[in-house]
A and B are shown apart, each in its own frame.
Chain A
């Protein structure tokens, strides 16, 4: 019996290690900035699209309000109690006065121009 347990434990360890190794070798995807609503925003927004579409916006609170309401209509899961804090979080981090977002490039197998 211990042998089977040992095999199972080894298998779990192996799979976990592979996952960790793969994660360590890759660079993490861009994430939303720290803040009280980071987790909520991540689950609500990145269910359908990447964080970078949010990172590149520079909008007023009124514009963010419209966007959040549109996205809720389109399926983003935001509880009513979280709506206002989420709008505040987005307005604070991606307001009109923030510096421009620098987008990454896709790989260039041939030398860049």
Chain B
């Protein structure tokens, strides 16, 4: 006779067996794609954990809607997204350690910063030879209106001790295996900048969970990895945080290296501000145009610098003409641009865009290769066919 206990055991066994099966999900065998609530029609570079890239054709607005804003997760998202019970602590080299709830943070003076956020590895797939990592194309970038208290105000409330030189961010990312936790730090000067925020809102709504709810750092003009998500702890340190995602992660060689060359960690420095870059969002690569008249569109950004000009070539780089820059602008936000063009004949064309910034930097013709594929910013190009 099977006892009740045996019965429960058998059922538990089945449940365990069922749970051991790979999670069931709808994959992209049909046109519906993978169901990721809140993120529509994104390129899924990784599902577990999420790395979601925006198809370039959605980057044609000054403010990127949350549903099309890219996601770069280094590990699993927090288990809980409850604001109740969540708090942000501020400690380390401070006179008065603090702990603030979401309601308390919301009551502080709020500042809005429109910022173009770009993953340091955006464009990694274009490097040759290939380097390991998420193989982003053009769309690990977006611009949003972030709002929240200034980090400066929080640090001032806590009182920075003279020894405080760097500010560390720890999020609630769930660490798999023995992977080092995703903790990063920024120098105190950037932390005290009046535009560096603890963002609670994005585009007028609470931060979407995949973009850092309930709070994220917003380090404007710098690589996305500086703006840690799901913040739970801020710590003032006497030196740069010593951890994998500061070293050897997110570093660039001090000197240019030959493609494929290895670099000693002591000959590197942290990646901070973004470079000058433009992308073509319309037409997309491989497009077929049934008209000779085209409105070429794109976006250009330069981290902490301003975009001065964007030039377009439609003849393989032989000649360049200035594009018209859009009116929407903010210190750390991209400029949209347009260029009206009439193809002289039907056939294949290569369209290129090249941005120049207020620091005199211009996009290079070839990306500067580095072992982790950071800050790819070569002149963008799309190949199209005009059939008219």
Contact = CB atoms under 8 A, between A and B. Distances in A.
Given A27-B29, A60-B129, A74-B179, A106 B36 contact: yes
Interface in B33-73: 33-36, 39-49, 51-53, 55, 57-58
Contacts, number: 140
Nearest to B17: A19
B47 A50 contact: yes
A42 B38 CA distance: 29
Contacts of A29: 22-23, 25, 27, 47
A59 B21 contact: no
Given A8-B7, A109-B40, A23 B21 contact: yes
Contacts of A49: 46, 48-49, 176
Given A27-B26, A76-B177, A107-B41, A96 B130 contact: yes
A73 B132 CA distance: 17
B344 to A, nearest CB: 28
A100 B46 CA distance: 15
Contacts of B108: none
A50 B46 contact: yes
Interface stretch (B8-16, B90-98, B313-321): B8-16
Given A49-B48, A52-B47, A106-B36, A12 B41 contact: no
B42 A106 contact: yes
B27 A27 contact: yes
B33 A57 contact: no
B52 A106 contact: yes
Contacts of B48: 49-50
B203 to A, nearest CB: 17
Contacts of B58: 113
A6 to B, nearest CB: 10
Contacts of A4: 1-2, 7
Nearest to A14: B14
B132 A75 contact: no
B128 to A, nearest CB: 9
A50 B48 CA distance: 5
Contacts of A28: 22, 27
Nearest to A108: B41
A106 B35 contact: yes
A5 interface: yes
Given A28-B22, A49-B49, 12 more contacts: A4-B2, A26-B26, A27-B28, A29-B22, A29-B23, A48-B179, A50-B46, A53-B134, A59-B130, A103-B44, A107-B41, A108-B33
Nearest first, the 8 A-B pairs at minimum CB distance are: A75-B177, A104-B28, A108-B41, A75-B178, A48-B176, A27-B27, A27-B29, A107-B33
